[in-house]
Amino acid sequence: MKYGYFDDKNREYVISQPDTPLPWSNYLGNENYFGLISNTAGGYSFYQDARLRRLTRYRYNNVPTDFGGRYIYIRDNKTNEFWSSTWQPTRTELDSYECRHGMGYTQIKSSKNAIESNVTYFVPNGENLEIWKFEIKNISDQVADISLFSFIEFCLWDANDDATNFQRNYNIGEVEIDKNVIYHKTEYRERRNHFAYFACSEDITGFDTQREDFLGRYRGFDKPCVVETGKSTNSVAHGWSPIGSHQINLKLKAEETKTIIFVLGYQENPENEKFEADGQTINKKYCSPIIEKYTTIDDVDKAFSQLNTYWDSLLNIFNVETQNEHVNRSVNIWNAYQNMITFNMSRSASMFESGIGRGMGFRDSTQDLLGFVHMVPERAKERILDIAATQMESGGAYHQYQPLTKRGNDAVGGNFNDDPLWLILAVTAYIKETGDFGILVEDVPFDNKPGSEDTLYNHLERSISYTLERLGPHGLPLIGRADWNDCLNLNCFSDEPGQSFQTTENREGKTAESIFIAGLFCYATNEMASLCDNINEEKIAQKYRALSLKMKEAIENYGWDGDWFLRAYDFFGDKIGSKECEEGQIFIEPQGICIMGNVGKNDGKAEKALTSVKEHLASEHGIVLLHPAYTQYQLRLGEISSYPPGYKENGSVFCHTNPWIMIAEAQMGHADQALDYYLRINPSNREKISEIHRCEPYVYAQTIAGKEAPSFGEAKNSWLTGTAAWNFVAITQWILGIRADYQGLIIDPVLPNDWHSFTIKRKFRDTIYDIDVEKSEIEKTTILIDDQIIDGNKIPIFDDREIVKVKIQVA
Ligand code: BGC
- pLDDT tens by residue, 503-545: 888 888 899 999 999 999 999 999 999 999 999 999 999 999 9
**In this structure, are residues 612 and 641 in contact, taking their beta carbons and an 8 Å threshold?**
no
3-state secondary structure 612-638: HHHHHHEECCEECCEECCCCCCCCCCH
User: Has residue 228 got a pLDDT over 90?
Assistant: yes
Spell out which residues line ligand 1, taking CB within 6 angstroms: 347, 361, 363-364, 484-487, 649
Q: Ligand 1 center to residue 486 CA distance, Å? A: 6
Task: Enter the DSSP assignment of 735.
Answer: I
The minimum-distance atom of ligand 1 relative to the CA of 717 is 7
Average pLDDT rounded to a whole number, residues 204-213: 98
Average pLDDT rounded to a whole number, residues 663-672: 98
Residue 503 pLDDT = 87
- Testing ligand 1's pocket by substitution, the residue of 353, 398, 486 carrying the most ligand atoms inside 8 A of its CB is 486
Q: Whose Cα sits closest to atom 10 in ligand 1?
A: 484
C-alpha–C-alpha distance, residues 588 and 709, integer Å: 18
In the annotation, is 486 catalytic?
Answer: yes
User: Has residue 630 got a pLDDT over 80?
Assistant: yes
Average pLDDT rounded to a whole number, residues 551-566: 98
The minimum-distance atom of ligand 1 relative to the CA of 649 is 12
Q: Whose Cα sits closest to atom 8 in ligand 1?
A: 364
Q: Ligand 1 center to residue 352 CA distance, Å? A: 13
Q: Lowest mean pLDDT: which of 14-18, 134-138, 794-798? A: 794-798
pTM of the model: 0.97
User: Has residue 412 got a pLDDT over 80?
Assistant: no
**What b-and-e string marks burial along 260-296, b requiring 16 or more CB atoms within 10 Å of the CB?**
bbbbbbbbebeeeebeeeeeeebbbeebeebbebbbe
User: Has residue 414 got a pLDDT over 90?
Assistant: no
The minimum-distance atom of ligand 1 relative to the CA of 399 is 9
**In this structure, are residues 428 and 437 in contact, taking their beta carbons and an 8 Å threshold?**
no
Q: Whose Cα sits closest to atom 5 in ligand 1?
A: 485
Closest CA to 261 of 291, 289, 224: 291
Give the confidence band of 634 by pLDDT, cuts at 50, 70, 90. Answer: very high
Mean residue pLDDT of the chain comes to: 97
Bridge partner residues of 790 (DSSP): 783
Q: Ligand 1 center to residue 483 CA distance, Å? A: 9
Average pLDDT rounded to a whole number, residues 419-444: 98
**In this structure, are residues 391 and 456 in contact, taking their beta carbons and an 8 Å threshold?**
no
Per residue in 642-659, pLDDT (tens digit) is 999 999 999 999 999 999
Catalytic residue selected from 49, 76, 486, 570: 486
Residue 413 pLDDT = 75
User: Has residue 415 got a pLDDT over 90?
Assistant: no
C-alpha–C-alpha distance, residues 645 and 628, integer Å: 8
> CB 381: neighbour CB atoms within 10 A?
21
- Testing ligand 1's pocket by substitution, the residue of 345, 354, 358, 364 carrying the most ligand atoms inside 8 A of its CB is 364
Continuous segment of H or E residues that includes residue 299:
helix 297-315
- Testing ligand 1's pocket by substitution, the residue of 489, 656, 726 carrying the most ligand atoms inside 8 A of its CB is 656
The minimum-distance atom of ligand 1 relative to the CA of 363 is 9
**In this structure, are residues 780 and 811 in contact, taking their beta carbons and an 8 Å threshold?**
yes
Q: Ligand 1 center to residue 21 CA distance, Å? A: 25
The minimum-distance atom of ligand 1 relative to the CA of 654 is 5
Q: Ligand 1 center to residue 161 CA distance, Å? A: 26
